[in-house]
Chains A and B, each alone.
Chain A
Amino acid sequence: MLNIIILFFILAISIFILPNPLKSKKGIIIALAQLAAFVWFVAKVPTITPTNPETLIYNWIPQLGLNISFMLDGLSIAFALLITGIGVLVFLYAQSYMKSYENNTKFFFFLLLFSAAMLGLVLSENLIQLFIFWELTTILSFFLISYFHEKEAARKAAFQSLVITFLGGLALFAGIIVIGSIVDSYSINVWVANAAKIQASKLYMPGLLLILLGVFTKSAQFPFHFWLPGAMQAPAPVSAYLHSATMVKAGVFLLARLSPALGGTEQWTFIIPLIGVITMFIGAYLAITQTDLKAILAYTTINSLGVLTLLLGIDTLLSIKAAVLFLFIHAFYKASLFMIAGFIEKKTGTRDINELGGLIKSFPITFIIALLALLSMAGLPPMLGFIGKELIYEAKVESPGFGSMIFIFGFLSNIFMFAVSMKVVYKVFLGKTKQTYDVPKIKNIAFVLGAGVLVLLSLIFGIAPKLLGKWIIDPAISVIYSEAATVDLALWHGFNLVLALSALTVTLGFLLGLLIIKKQWIEAKWQKFNNLIFPVKLPEVFSMGLEKFVTFSVDKTKMLQHGYHRYYILTIIAFTAILLWIQIYVTQGWQFNLQFTFKPFYISGLVLIISLATLFTVLTRSRIAAIISMGVMGYGLALIFLYYSAVDLAITQILSETLIVVMFMLILQRLPMFSKLSAKATKIRDLVVSILFGAAMTMVTLKAINVNLSTPISEFFMANSYLKAHGENVVNVILVDFRALDTLGEVTVLVIAALGVAALLSTKKIKK
């Protein structure tokens, strides 16, 4: 598992250095890699049983409960198959779609990285690790939405989705920590094993709400749904992959994953279905009046995500069955519809369905594929979508709690979905031809291949649903429901209530669709009505709020970030001094054990010299003298270090002192003449702060002498340096082995600081 993710990462980087003949075949190369991964996962399918998931654990920071751990069970393998399987088709599609764009390497880089991150997300067993992958998908989604960053709309939409999903991610992180603190672990398996303890805890409710916030933002649930239509600014392969089949399902995945640990409570079966129902209804309702092909698809995706959330929230065996099945149905038809939408846009230059029409003549094969996909979306036989809709109806009818509400809104949404499907078929493919299109310059086959395969799958599984049920759906359900379960899928269920409902839906949907198609004015009136009942546009409210927030924080930041170096230093020193004095005041038992032992005269002499040099540095009016006397301080300190046999420290001190003096010398000649500009009051203020700080440091040093820890850690270092770390120089061993994490941080900070200095000093002076 880990190998696949790592290989994807390596491949993503290496596509930048592909040799020339392969350069134009990036999509195909990546698709092959995806195919290999897909085959690997398929081969794993028969070996995965509910009781025997395949796990892989490496220690990372076990002290913090952080491990690199992966788990391949029924649920994660279902998602992994979706990610890699649709990945193959999307990359093949992207190969053709992105051909005409220069520098598309970046695109493939991001898309492949996304695929790796998404795999990492679904395979994670540790929730902190899952969160890291979660955020990674958010960031990559941002880069992919803003791929056409010359367009302002794309930048705006990308930023909007980034902020919303980041906020959710933050909440998720907090939620993971809150719930994790109950059982003292971030392992999903531990959570599941301690479900009762978690649900009995006081922290359950806040933790659940935080996690749900993350889930709802990621999966575009009401009231955060509006980022998804905006995200349609992305190139079509991205919409097909991220915003229909995989990333937006991450939230749903997490719900399913945590359902055994957190689910089944009153809160769970109330909040989640409620949000799900609203999202489902709003998505379907708003889809009808859209005119942009991709926007229609986006709103129907919102509807589907609502359905998935709702079903997982109802939390009965039947609803979970329906959810897992619908996950596949939706991925199949929606990904193919997005691919077709991209194809149509490429060919005709527009996505506005009012400008399209009569495409059946130019693209008959595309029409058939789209028709089948839309049949699945509308929930008609013989597609898999029909089985899904039946099952969903059944789940809704039998749902406990506020079942009737769910049922009515579900019924209405299905009518809308049918009408939308009908509208798309009619307006885009049938109807009058509005313009002549320059037919095939590029091979169409590459464009419709992916969509075709998915629709074919939808059809095959629709006719023989048991194939999908036994191998993939059953194991996934067993994981979510945490006991072995099987599902009996069939196209024909016999005459029952649900079938009658289906028939009624189709009839009403057909009538509504007919009305919309035939009477143009209805849609216009409807649109007006919508504007009336939804007076606020969420994206606008959002961007306005963000703007206000930014101005507010800029104002507040300017107070502290004034840009004067001397005041920064003053602030830092003054605050440190105050904090130290507070601590000195608060600390009890402040006794000094002042035992002066006289050191040899050369050490006392050194101390005297250093003190004098310090005084001289402050008082002198010559820069060069100040620098040299600072050098004297530094070398003097080095000698003291040497006296206490801290050789490494002394060498470092001498070398850095030398370097500093050299650097000062370099810039000294460029500085203006030294002059006294400070007013008397300023000088007194600086003196007071300095004395406060110096005195505090002295106090702390004196205190430190008297603090005796029971066993100094240095003894451990001494004892283990050679035995465990193979080094005789303890200082060095501490730096590169025992305390290597500190050094790692320091080195990184050093690099960042150096880059910052270089950037600051190389800026040309801006004239105001």
Chain B
Amino acid sequence: MNSVILQLASKYIRWILIIFSVIVLVRGHNAPGGGFIGGLLAGLSLAYKGFAYTPELLKREMKVRPEGFMALGLALVFLSLWPGLFLKTTLMEGVWFTLPMPFSEGLKLGTPFLFDIGVYFVVIGVSILFLFSLSNEKKWK
């Protein structure tokens, strides 16, 4: 696509979307949102650029390959399973602790959150990989 408006807009909207996706991810445990939605948003933000220019350009400029995102995500997901086994009683049991923060009661962090971050990255990777592979073929029959 070759629209200047779209290309210029993508520059800013992309970052807004990414920041928004992180917010959605973080607040997910207590308010609508979470890793899946956040990941889709972040994936969309990248797709936006691919749409405004060409997917090839996006592919060239991305430093991490989509498979990398997927691998990172899966690794985080699998990592989050183990603390439950060693610190509590069973595999996958949630382990929580509170990070003391100034001016508030503290930030609650736990393995489910880590799990969610993993989902976030997996979804980003998957959506971009779909995008890339679909735009791969020169001509469809």
Contact = CB atoms under 8 A, between A and B. Distances in A.
A758 B129 contact: yes
A750 B122 contact: yes
Given A648-B34, A659-B127, A58 B119 contact: no
B129 A726 contact: no
Contacts of B94: 725-726, 737
Interface of A: 58-62, 68, 647-648, 651-652, 655-656, 658-659, 662-663, 665-667, 670-672, 725-729, 731-733, 735-737, 740-741, 743-744, 747-748, 750-751, 753-755, 757-758, 760-762
A659 B43 contact: yes
A751 B72 CA distance: 11
A659 B40 contact: yes
Contacts of A659: 40, 43-44, 47, 127
Contacts of A60: 85, 90-91
Interface of B: 28-37, 40-41, 43-44, 47-48, 50-51, 55, 66-67, 70, 73-74, 77, 81, 85-86, 89-92, 94, 96, 108, 110, 112-113, 115-116, 118-119, 122-123, 125-127, 129-141
A1 B43 CA distance: 44
Contacts of B44: 655, 658-659, 662
B112 A757 contact: no
B130 A655 contact: no
A663 B131 CA distance: 6
Nearest to A60: B91
B32 A754 contact: no
Given A60-B90, A733-B29, A737-B94, A755 B67 contact: yes
Given A652-B36, A732-B28, A751 B92 contact: no
Contacts, number: 155
A726 B92 contact: no
Contact of B51 (A647, A662, A740): A662
A58 B85 contact: yes
Contact of B130 (A68, A740, A747, A754): A754
Most buried by B among A58, A670, A726: A726
B133 A757 contact: yes
Most buried by A among B29, B66, B70: B29
B123 A750 contact: yes
Contacts of A667: 134-135, 140
Given A655-B40, A659-B44, A736-B115, A666 B131 contact: yes
A665 B43 contact: no
Contacts of A665: 51
A747 B110 contact: no
A633 B34 CA distance: 24
Given A667-B140, A754-B70, A727 B112 contact: yes
B141 A735 contact: no
Given A647-B32, A665-B51, A761-B136, 9 more contacts: A659-B127, A666-B131, A672-B141, A728-B29, A736-B115, A737-B94, A758-B132, A761-B133, A762-B136
